[in-house]
Amino acid sequence: MERETYEMASFRNNRELAGDKGSVEDYVFLKSQDTQELSVQPLLQESRAFRSGMEKGLLMGGGGALLAMGILVAALVCHFRKKEENLKKNLEIDAVTGLGNKLYLKRCFRQKIREENRTSYYAVFFYTDTERMMRQRGTRETEEFLRRGAKMLRQYTADTDILARAGEDGIVLFKQASSPEKIRRWMELAFKEIDEERRARGDFREIWATAGVYPLKAADWDEDVILLEARRIARVAHERGQNFLICDQEIERQLEQERALQAEVKRALEEGEFTIYLHFYVRADNFQVIGAEALSRWNHPTRGFLEPDSFIGLMEKEGMISQLDFYGLDKVCAFLERIFRKGTRDFFISCNFSRQTFSRPDFTRQCREIIEKYEFPREMLVLELTESVSAPNVGRIYENMVKLRQYGVRIMLDDFGEGFATFSDLRKYPVSGVKLSKSLVDDIKEEKGQAILQAVVQVGRSMELMVLAEGVEDDEQVHLLQEMDCDIIQGYRFYYPVPEEVAEERIAQREGRS
């Protein structure tokens, strides 16, 4: 143990670009002054123009004056060159942590990691769900956390290593080590130190970082691909509740499966293997069908009929869920147009959208493009914001909601009471309805469960929101929800999800058309 501590200590004071220049705070200062391109570019141009002017002046002078002038010009040229170099360097600094950013990483990767020493490097990706942390602890605390992490890692960075902020959610360290065992011991000590430092500050909450370690192979020349691999491994560590994971054969197999899924989803969308099932909603007061929820199903050629639990989470993690969400929206809009043409009124369909899809910058544009292909009143469509494996860009979700509301499409918060959505979201977001999660409904018969549900329904109603309950399975639950004044009920007590063709027939029967 003593030797290991010594090994760690020997990394201390071996500082990278950032470390040589002073404290983390210095970097934040540098960045705020120098890395905004708008202010840097004119400065760079100014320095270049000045230099070239001076160089011309040098040719025109004469004698001693010329020499003095020459020295002065040389000094100035030197000064501006240095300034230019500094400005370029500062463009490589991350504002929050003071570490190098991706530009810095790119440059150092080319300089330090070459074919002959590549396999001695390990890419260690420290992953933090910064979006979630910001929601729960605020921006200031999140940034402080990142700064502390950066400062600590900088102490353990040798000259041959590269430490950089690799994106919003992670810091990467390219570390040289003689064996996977060495790196494992190093990781254990690093996390022990993180833990001790946290406790010393009186912070006993969970550690908000997990790490993925990817040993570089001889053929790994692209730092972006390496980052992606290390990040994936960090994410697997996060899912398994482990501090860190070093890529081994089992993890390689898992990652391979995910890659295969990506290819499969692409094919399945092209081949039309995804279908939608509709799950009817009934009014709580008279049990009349007033709408339905669209749920995806995958008719897989070899694995059979797949329910969403086996593919939605994976697709979210792989960043592929929006393809399915938009595909589903298209099918729902086509369905709405068909039933509207046949005379159906007072009916809506809710369509599930992952938070990931909802936070896309092109979300409203894509929705509009799909919706405008079909003819039906916009109020027949409701978008459900589902709970997802992660809660990305909250600000963007809000902006997209506002735009869609203006466009006439209603939005509902799904699975309320289960995940990220809070009471304050009800106030902040322009939503028309809230869907109580099945887990809340499951506890309705217990005293405390009932009190919670009652409170949530009351909050919803007092904000004039449509209140829906899902997962309702028996008469007692129905009765209690009626007493609470819930508006709409969905669950196996009334209907099971059915293929869209079956749903269309039932709607026609409801309206006496068949």
Footprint of Ca ion (CB under 5 A)? 352, 384, 414
- Which one of residues 237, 497, 503, 504 is an interface residue with ligand C2E (CB under 6 A)? 497
Residue 17 to residue 89: CA distance in whole angstroms: 9
**C-alpha closest to that of 390 among 293, 324, 323, 315:** 315
Query: For residues 35 and 490, which CB has a smaller minimum distance to Ca ion in the complex?
Result: 490
Residue 95 to residue 86: CA distance in whole angstroms: 15
Query: For residues 100 and 471, which CB has a smaller minimum distance to ligand C2E in the complex?
Result: 471
Partner touching 70 among ligand C2E, Ca ion, none, CB below 5 to 8 Å by kind? none
Query: For residues 186 and 281, which CB has a smaller minimum distance to ligand C2E in the complex?
Result: 281
Give min distance, CB of 447 to ligand C2E, in A: 22
* Residue 349 binds ligand C2E, judged by CB under 6 A: no
Compute the half-sphere exposure of residue 351: CA atoms within 13 Å on the CB side of its CA: 29
Question: What six digits make up the tokens of 38?
Answer: 């708008």
Give min distance, CB of 185 to ligand C2E, in A: 42
Give min distance, CB of 282 to Ca ion, in A: 16
* Residue 471 binds ligand C2E, judged by CB under 6 A: yes
Partner touching 312 among Ca ion, ligand C2E, none, CB below 5 to 8 Å by kind? ligand C2E
Give min distance, CB of 190 to Ca ion, in A: 41
Give min distance, CB of 135 to Ca ion, in A: 21
- Which one of residues 161, 325, 487, 504 is an interface residue with ligand C2E (CB under 6 A)? 325
**DSSP structural state of residue 216:** P
Q: Which of residues 394-453 bind ligand C2E (CB under 6 A)?
A: 414-415
For residue 282, how far is the Cα from the chain centroid? 35
Rg of the Cα atoms in the chain: 29
Give min distance, CB of 384 to Ca ion, in A: 5
Partner touching 223 among Ca ion, ligand C2E, none, CB below 5 to 8 Å by kind? none
In degrees and rounded to multiples of 5, residue 465 shows phi and psi of -100, 155
* Residue 473 binds ligand C2E, judged by CB under 6 A: yes
| Number of chain residues interacting with ligand C2E (CB under 6 A) | 25
**C-alpha closest to that of 192 among 158, 216, 156, 239:** 156
- Looking only at Cα atoms, what is the longest distance across the chain? 107
Q: Which residue is nearest to Ca ion (CB)?
A: 414
Q: Which stretch binds ligand C2E (CB under 6 A): 46-54, 68-76, 317-325, 506-514?
A: 317-325
* Residue 491 binds ligand C2E, judged by CB under 6 A: yes
Q: Which of residues 287-306 bind ligand C2E (CB under 6 A)?
A: 295-296
Question: What six digits make up the tokens of 386?
Answer: 């589902």
Q: What does the H/E/C string look like for 245-300? A: EECCHHHHHHHHHHHHHHHHHHHHHHHCCEEEEEEEEEECCCCCEEEEEEEEEEEE
Cβ atoms of 281 and 486 within 8 Å: the answer is no
Cβ atoms of 246 and 184 within 8 Å: the answer is yes
**C-alpha closest to that of 251 among 209, 208, 215:** 215
- Which one of residues 70, 308, 419, 449 is an interface residue with ligand C2E (CB under 6 A)? 308
* Residue 70 binds ligand C2E, judged by CB under 6 A: no
Give min distance, CB of 310 to ligand C2E, in A: 9
**C-alpha closest to that of 276 among 292, 288, 264, 261:** 292
Helices (H), 306-393: 312-317, 321-341, 355-358, 363-371
Partner touching 393 among ligand C2E, Ca ion, none, CB below 5 to 8 Å by kind? none
Query: For residues 176 and 386, which CB has a smaller minimum distance to ligand C2E in the complex?
Result: 386
Give min distance, CB of 327 to ligand C2E, in A: 8
Query: For residues 55 and 418, which CB has a smaller minimum distance to ligand C2E in the complex?
Result: 418
Query: For residues 104 and 358, which CB has a smaller minimum distance to ligand C2E in the complex?
Result: 358
* Residues near 348 by beta carbon (within 8 Å), at least 6 away in sequence: 290, 291, 379, 380, 381, 382, 410
Q: Assign 420 to helix, strand or coil.
A: coil
Query: For residues 291 and 471, which CB has a smaller minimum distance to ligand C2E in the complex?
Result: 471
Query: For residues 229 and 414, which CB has a smaller minimum distance to Ca ion in the complex?
Result: 414
**C-alpha closest to that of 295 among 4, 23, 132, 496:** 496
Placement of tokens 């449509």 in the chain: 466
Q: Which residues bind ligand C2E (CB under 6 A)?
A: 279, 295-296, 307-309, 312, 321, 324-325, 328, 352-354, 386, 414-415, 470-473, 490-492, 497
